[in-house]
Amino acid sequence: MPAPIELVCPAGSLPALKTAVDHGADCVYLGFKDATNARNFTGLNFDPPQMREGVAYAHARGRKVLLALNTYPQADNWPSWTQAIDRAAEFGVDALILADPGLMDYATRTHPQLRLHLSVQGSATSYEAINWYAERFDIRRAVLPRVLSLPQVAHVVANTAVEIEVFGFGGLCVMVEGRCALSAYATGESPNCNGACSPGKHVRWEETPKGMETRLNGILIDRFADGERAGYPTLCKGRFEVNDETYYALEEPTSLNTLELLPELARIGIRAIKIEGRQRSPAYVAQVTQVWRAALDKLAAGGADAFSVLPGWMAELNKVSEGQSHTLGAYYRPWK
C-alpha cells in the first residue's frame, strides 16, 4: 500500500498552529519573526518561546513541525539564516524547508540529523533538478511550484525517489513562486530576500471622495465602493484602467482548489498536500484543515475509485477562497 498523503497546514501564529493540529493537520509549517521566511509580516510568525511551545504542542499530539527558512540570505546577513538553522535544530523541528543551496550545505555539515525539504521557492520543476538537490544535500522532500500540469507532476514523481509535495488549496501567484518582479519594482524590496510581497510599511489605505483607495509605495492599486471589501494591496491583484476599461488586468482574485483531483494525486504517488495561507486567520485554518482532513480520510477509507467530492466541502472552501471562487490552476490543461 502507498503511504498515506500527509496534510500540511499553515501556522502563521501559535493559535493557528494549535487550530491546525486540533482540526487534523499531519504537519504544520511556520517561520521565525524575521526575513528568513517568505511571510515576513508584522503580527505573524514565531519568536523562540512560541516556537518551543508550538513544537511541544504538535509533538505531544503526534504531529510534525516544518520550519520554513525559504528566503535567500545575502553576504551581509548570512549569520541570521545560519542562526535560524541552529535554533531549528535546538527546538527539535521535524524538517527545514530551504531554498538556498548555501544554507542546505550549512545544514548538512552542521546538523546532519536535520531532515531537509526543498522549498517551492527553489523553483525545481523537473526531476533532474530535484535529484541534483537530493544527491548533494540529501533533500528528502520537494515542494513543486504551481506551474506544472498533472501529467508533468506525474512525470516528476515517477523519476525521483524524493517525496513530492504539491499545493492543494490557497492563493495563487502570477510570478515564479514568490519571485515577484512587480513588488520588487514598486518597493525596491525583493520578496525572496526580504520575505514579503507588498511589505506592510509600503501599504496605505485612504478614504477619498472617490472611495477607499489602496496604494503600494504610492502606486494606486485599487479603489473600492462603499461597502465593498478592501483587500490587501498587491500589484498582481489590483484593478487597473486599460483602454478606458477598469478591471483585474493581471490576475483575477481566485484560489487554487484541487479537491476533485485528490484521487489522481493519490494514484501518481503524491506524498503531501500543502494548504497555503500562513497570513490567514485561525478561523481560515480551522475551516480548510477540517475539510481536507475529511476528504483525505474518505480517500483512505474507500480508495481513489470510490472517492467523490461532497458539495458541502466545496461550499465551505469557497467561503474562504479569494473572490469566493476557485480554479484548478495549471494542473488542468485540457488543450495539452
pLDDT of residue 98 exceeding 80, the answer is yes
- Contact status, residue 79 vs residue 48, Cβ threshold 8 Å: no
What does DSSP assign to residue 149? -
What is the pTM (predicted TM-score) of this model? 0.92
pLDDT of residue 286 exceeding 60, the answer is yes
pLDDT of residue 252: 81
pLDDT of residue 289: 98
What are the boundaries of each domain within the chain? 6-172+254-331, 190-248
pLDDT of residue 264: 95
Local confidence band at 336 (pLDDT 50, 70, 90 cut-offs): low
Determine the CATH number of domain 6-172+254-331. 3.20.20.60
Paired sense of beta strands 255-257 and 27-30, if any: unpaired
Rounded Cα gap, residues 138 and 132, in angstroms:
9
Rounded Cα gap, residues 261 and 303, in angstroms:
13
Go through 88-111 and write b for each residue having 16 or more CB atoms within 10 A of its CB, e for each that does not: bbebebbbbbbbbeebbebbeeee
User: Which are the contacts of 143, defined by CB distance < 8 A and separation ≥ 6?
Assistant: 97, 117, 118, 119, 120, 165, 166, 167, 274
Lowest mean pLDDT among 48-57, 150-159, 200-209: 200-209
Mean pLDDT of 255-267: 94
Rounded Cα gap, residues 13 and 19, in angstroms:
10
pLDDT of residue 38 exceeding 60, the answer is yes
pLDDT of residue 335 exceeding 90, the answer is no
Angle between helices 282-302 and 14-22 (to 10 degrees): 20
Mean pLDDT of 81-108: 97
Mean pLDDT of 68-90: 95
pLDDT of residue 307: 94
Cross-sheet strand order for the sheet of 203-208: 203-208, 211-216, 219-224
Rounded Cα gap, residues 156 and 128, in angstroms:
9
